[in-house]
Structure 1
Amino acid sequence: MIGVLVTFTQTDKVDRSSLAKIADELRVPFEGMAGLRFKSFMLDEDGFQAKNFYVWDDEEKSRSFFTEELVDKVTGIYGAPPKIEYLEIVGFVDNSGT
Structure 2
Amino acid sequence: MITAVTTFRLPRPFTREEARSIFRSTAPLYRGVQGLFRKTYVLSEDGMTAGGIYFWNSRGEAEALYTDAWRARAREKYGADPAIAYFESPVVVDNVAEQILADA
TM-score (norm 2): 0.86
Structure 1 window deviating more from structure 2 (9-18 vs 48-57): it is 9-18
1:3-26 deviation digits (Å, cap 9, x = unpaired):
110000124212211110111111
**Alignment-mate amino acid for residue 6 of structure 1:** T
Give the equivalent residue in structure 1 for 2:19.
Answer: 19
CA RMSD of aligned residues (A): 1.3
1:2 aligns with 2:2: yes
Question: Deviation string for 1:10-57 (max 9, x for gaps)?
Answer: 242122111101111112121222210100111112221002110011
Count residues with an aligned counterpart. 98
Where 2:47 maps in the other structure, the secondary structure is coil
SS at match of 1:60: helix
SS in 1 for 2:12: coil
Q: What 5-or-longer segments of structure 1 have no aligned partner?
A: none
TM-score by length of 1: 0.91
Alpha-carbon distance change, 16 to 37 in structure 1, aligned in 2, over 3 angstroms: same
- Counting strand residues as a fraction of each chain, which structure ranks higher? 2
Look up the match of 2:52. Answer: 52
Cα offsets for 1:69-96 (capped at 9, x unmatched) = 2111111111111111111112210111
